[in-house]
């Protein structure tokens, strides 16, 4: 069914002009020319084939992973609006978790059915706040899958509160794209991902005890669909990557099993 609404154009303003935040990028693209851009696109595909998952993790199943040489440009104003909305959404998730593991008013008021909570294997019953002391923070990570609707508004398809899925792919996309088509990066003011990694690393360090214990990323190993991301993120944040079999509990303390014995500073 055709609603009569013109399809959204990310680049043009509907009046025959490029949107302001696209103009410098378009100038760079025109300077490079069609043939050069086509060649860079082929080089980009080859780079992902040569340096993708099988290059970082030999023996892993190859994944059809590519990145368009022309990035999606978002204006600073629109980015700030998205940022504020996602921060508000993350705060909502935090308050819901605080209630479900605390006073459980949402269930008492009938806003959340108890079956959804208690029937979910991911609900950690031992983490309930039974003594009323509460916790400073329940939500450690938040990410969202988003798309732009035909009306131009951004919509959230899925909330990711367990792990920062997609970050490692974004890092690799940036790394390879900036090497193959560096001209596109030189003409833009790009929001850096390094700051996020630094903030995340500091937050994880703050969660560790004051006895000098370290931080590690817990993974279920090669069988985990996110194994590739776990490897990359642990490298980027300079933290250990461990599986459950690498850990042991002694006298209420978690130890990392190493060739030199048990290590309390690795967990």
CB atoms within 10 A of CB 153: 8
Whether residue 266 is contained in a domain is answered as yes
Whether residue 212 is contained in a domain is answered as yes
- 252 or 36, which is more confident: 36
Q: 119: Cβ–Cβ under 8 A, 6 or more apart, which residues?
A: none
When mean pLDDT is compared over 22-26, 82-86, 158-162, 183-187, the highest value belongs to: 82-86
Mean pLDDT in residue range 194-199: 83
Identify whether the C-beta of residue 209 lies closer than 8 Å to the C-beta of residue 33.
Answer: no
Identify whether the C-beta of residue 40 lies closer than 8 Å to the C-beta of residue 67.
Answer: no
- The 10s digit of each residue's pLDDT in 35-93 is 999 999 999 988 888 776 655 666 666 666 778 888 888 888 999 999 999 999 999 99
Average pLDDT over the chain reads 82
CATH of the domain at 237: 3.40.50.11290
Cα four-point dihedral sign 96, 97, 102, 104? positive
Whether residue 5 is contained in a domain is answered as no
CA distance 87 to 46: 37
Whether residue 193 is contained in a domain is answered as no
Whether residue 257 is contained in a domain is answered as yes
Number of structural domains the chain divides into: 1
- The 10s digit of each residue's pLDDT in 141-156 is 888 999 998 888 999 9
Residues above pLDDT 90, as percent of the chain: 27
**Under DSSP, is residue 129 helix (H, G, I), strand (E, B) or coil?**
coil
- Determine the longest span between alpha carbons in the chain, in angstroms: 70
- 56 or 16, which is more confident: 16
Whether residue 158 is contained in a domain is answered as no
- 125 or 92, which is more confident: 92
* Per-residue pLDDT band at 2 (split at 50, 70, 90): very low
From the number of C-beta atoms within 10 Å of its C-beta (0-12, 13-18, 19+), residue 118 rates as exposed
The answer, yes or no, to whether residue 230 has pLDDT greater than 90, is no
- 213 or 128, which is more confident: 128
Whether residue 104 is contained in a domain is answered as no
pTM: 0.76
- The 10s digit of each residue's pLDDT in 89-111 is 999 999 999 999 999 999 999 99
What confidence score (pLDDT) does residue 56 get?
63
DSSP classification of residue 150: T
Whether residue 242 is contained in a domain is answered as yes
Helices (H), the chain: 23-32, 34-51, 53-56, 76-100, 105-108, 114-118, 167-180, 182-186, 194-207, 227-236
Cα four-point dihedral sign 169, 174, 179, 181? positive
* Per-residue pLDDT band at 6 (split at 50, 70, 90): low
Q: Which domain holds residue 210?
A: 201-267
* Per-residue pLDDT band at 196 (split at 50, 70, 90): confident
DSSP letters along 33-79, please?
-HHHHHHHHHHHHHHHHHHSHHHHSTTSPP------SSPPP--HHHH
């Amino acid at each position: 069914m055709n609603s009569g609404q013109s399809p959204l154009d990310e680049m043009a303003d509907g009046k025959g002009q490029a949107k302001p935040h696209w103009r410098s990028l378009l100038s760079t693209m025109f300077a490079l020319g069609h043939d050069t851009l086509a060649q860079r696109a082929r080089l980009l595909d080859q780079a992902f084939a040569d340096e993708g998952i099988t290059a970082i993790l030999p023996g892993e199943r190859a994944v059809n992973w590519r990145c368009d040489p022309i990035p999606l440009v978002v204006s600073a104003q629109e980015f700030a609006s998205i940022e504020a909305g996602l921060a508000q959404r993350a705060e909502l998730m935090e308050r819901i978790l605080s209630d479900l593991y605390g006073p459980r008013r949402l269930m008492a008021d009938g806003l959340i059915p108890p079956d959804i909570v208690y029937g979910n294997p991911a609900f950690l019953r031992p983490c309930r706040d039974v003594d009323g002391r509460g916790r400073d923070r329940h939500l450690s990570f938040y990410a969202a899958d988003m798309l732009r609707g035909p009306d131009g508004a951004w919509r959230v398809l899925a909330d990711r509160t367990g792990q920062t899925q997609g970050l490692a792919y974004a890092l690799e996309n940036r790394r390879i794209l900036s090497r193959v088509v560096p001209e596109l990066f030189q003409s833009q003011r790009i929001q850096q991902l390094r700051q996020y990694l630094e903030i995340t690393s500091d937050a994880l360090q703050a969660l560790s005890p004051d006895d000098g214990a370290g931080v590690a990323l817990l993974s279920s190993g090669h069988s985990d669909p996110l194994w590739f991301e776990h490897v990359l993120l642990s490298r980027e944040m300079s933290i250990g990557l461990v599986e459950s079999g690498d850990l042991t509990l002694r006298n209420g303390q978690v130890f990392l099993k190493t060739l030199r014995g048990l290590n309390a500073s690795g967990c």
